Homo-oligomer: A and B are copies of this chain.
Amino acid sequence: MRSLPCDCLHQLVGNDIAVKPLAPGEFRRQGRMVVDFLANYYENIEKYPVLSQVEPGYLSKRLPSSAPQDEEPMEAILDDVRQHIVPGLTHWQSPNFFAYFQTNTSTAAILGEMLCAGFNVAGFNWVSSPAATELESLVMDWLGKMLELPTPFLFSGNGGGVIEGNTTEAIICTLTAARDRVLRRLGHNSIAKLVVYGSDQTHCSFQKAARVAGIDPQNFRALKTTRSTLFGLSPDTLRKAIRLDIDAGLIPLYLCTTVGTTSSAAVDPLAPLCEVANEFGMWVHVDAAYAGASCICPEYRKFINGFADSFSFNAHKWFLTPLDCCCLWVKDPNALVKSLSTAPEYLKNEATESKQVVDYADWQLSLSRRFRALKLWLVIRSYGVQNLRSHIRNHCRLAKLFEELVEEDCRFEVVFPRYFALVCFRMCPSVVAGMSNGHIVENGHGEAWKLNKVNRFNAQLLRNINASGQVFMSHTMVEGVYVIRFAVGATLVSERHVIMAWKVAQEHANSLLSMPASE
Contacts and interface: CB of A to CB of B under 8 A. Distances in A.
Contacts of A516: none
Interface in A11-56: 13-14, 16-19, 21-28, 30-43, 51-52, 54, 56
Contacts of A132: 88-89
B346 A59 contact: no
A257 interface: no
A35 B31 contact: yes
A272 interface: no
A431 interface: no
The oligomer's copy count stands at 2
A165 interface: yes
A397 B17 CA distance: 12
Interface string A63-75: 1011111111010
A314 B257 CA distance: 35
Nearest to A492: B22
A81 interface: yes
Nearest to A143: B67
Candidate in A22, A58, A208, A217 with the most chain B CB atoms within 10 angstroms: A22
Contacts of A205: 342, 366-367
Interface of A is mostly: helix
A315 to B, nearest CB: 12
A42 B118 CA distance: 9
A116 to B, nearest CB: 8
Interface stretch (A234-242, A317-325, A504-512): A317-325
B130 A54 contact: yes
Interface string A336-358: 00011011111110010010110
Given A105-B117, A114-B114, A367-B168, A14 B495 contact: yes
Contact of A16 (B39, B214, B322, B393): B393
Contact of A52 (B59, B130, B165, B218): B130
Nearest to A136: B59
A456 interface: no
A97 B262 CA distance: 45
A442 B294 CA distance: 72
A296 to B, nearest CB: 9
Contacts of A354: 56
Given A31-B39, A38-B118, A65-B141, A342 B107 contact: no
A477 interface: yes
A419 interface: no
A336 B60 CA distance: 24
Contacts of A209: 365
A150 to B, nearest CB: 16
B31 A111 contact: yes
Given A16-B393, A39-B27, A74 B111 contact: yes
B14 A114 contact: no
Contacts of A116: 113, 322
A457 to B, nearest CB: 17
A93 B22 contact: yes
A380 B67 contact: yes
Interface string A356-388: 110000000111111000110010111111110
Contacts of A109: 117
A56 B351 contact: yes
A31 B74 contact: no
Given A13-B394, A63-B138, A93-B120, A21 B108 contact: yes
Given A31-B38, A138-B60, A351-B56, A89 B213 contact: no
A13 to B, nearest CB: 6
A391 to B, nearest CB: 6
Contacts of A215: 214
A42 B115 CA distance: 12
Interface stretch (A188-196, A301-309, A444-452): A188-196
Interface in A170-185: 172, 176, 179-180
Nearest to A476: B346
A100 interface: yes
Given A59-B130, A89-B119, 6 more contacts: A18-B390, A56-B126, A67-B385, A68-B381, A87-B131, A314-B368
